[in-house]
Amino acid sequence: LTMSSPGSTTSLPSGLSVLTTFPDVLFIPEIIFGGLVWILVASSKVPFPILQGWVMFVSVFCFVMSTSLLCLYICSVHGGSSFWVTLVSGCDKP
């Protein structure tokens, strides 16, 4: 596995080569654990349903964003722009 960083001069991976760089491989466990969180939040019983709705919204939003970004990387929509590295790192911070 290779490392990709915003300051590197190499081009961003595209297609299935996305799954060979270390930061991009982390999308897979992120999607798996995001789905598990989604399931656990949906199946829990809480005294204030509005709180569960907010947590459900955040978990589903992060799950959908992670899946979308992985699909966009695989389809090579980024066009080699380093902006995508910043976008992904920004989405992973919450």
Is 93 within a domain?
no
pLDDT for the residue numbered 9: 46
Q: Does residue 1 have a pLDDT over 70?
A: no
Structurally, how many domains does the chain consist of?
Answer: 1
Is 14 within a domain?
no
Task: Say whether pTM exceeds 0.85.
Answer: no
Q: Does residue 7 have a pLDDT over 60?
A: no
- Concatenated DSSP letters for 34-53? HHHHHHHHHH---S-HHHHH
Is 9 within a domain?
no
Average pLDDT, integer, range 70-80: 77
Q: Which two tokens stand for residue 87?
A: 């976008």
Is 8 within a domain?
no
Confidence band for 55, pLDDT divided at 50, 70 and 90: confident
Tell me which long-range contacts 75-80 makes (C-beta under 8 A, separation of at least 24).
75/14, 76/14, 76/15, 78/12, 78/14, 80/11, 80/12
Is 18 within a domain?
no
Q: Identify the domain containing residue 46 by its residue range.
A: 23-87
Is 27 within a domain?
yes
Is 36 within a domain?
yes
User: pLDDT higher for 84 or 37?
Assistant: 37
